[in-house]
Amino acid sequence: MSDCIFCKIVNREIDTELIYEDSKIIAFNDISPVAPVHILVIPKEHFPTIEDAKDSDILSHLFSKVVEIAKMKNLEDYRLIINKGEKAGQTVFHLHIHIIGKRDLKWPPG
């Protein structure tokens, strides 16, 4: 998609330092991190939401690589977030997984 910021990153129209890349995905640091480690992992193919990717093999590839990237970043504990839809907080409509780590969270909350 010509107006998708993540597609522009995939197509090298926007410069960013990649943490990981293979034939199907790329990973890079979030420009507005919420934790010391905040990485976005995205498919190179454009899927607006996780529902659009459900019939593709990309989901298993994404999740297997997320684990590898977390290990590569020495994350023992981390949180994965996928937002689906504007009301859930999705601001870029290109499937992406947030890896959030090195942030102390009190669990359970409250």
Contact indicator for 99, 41 with CB cutoff of 8 Å: yes
Sequence-distant (≥ 6) Cβ neighbours of residue 62 within 8 angstroms: 25, 41, 43, 95, 97
Q: Look up 96 and say whether it is catalytic.
A: yes
Contact by Cβ (8 Å): 64, 31 = no
What six digits make up the tokens of 22? 């293979």
Task: Single out the catalytic residue among 46, 61, 94, 96.
Answer: 96
Strands 18-21 and 37-43: unpaired
Catalytic center residues: 96
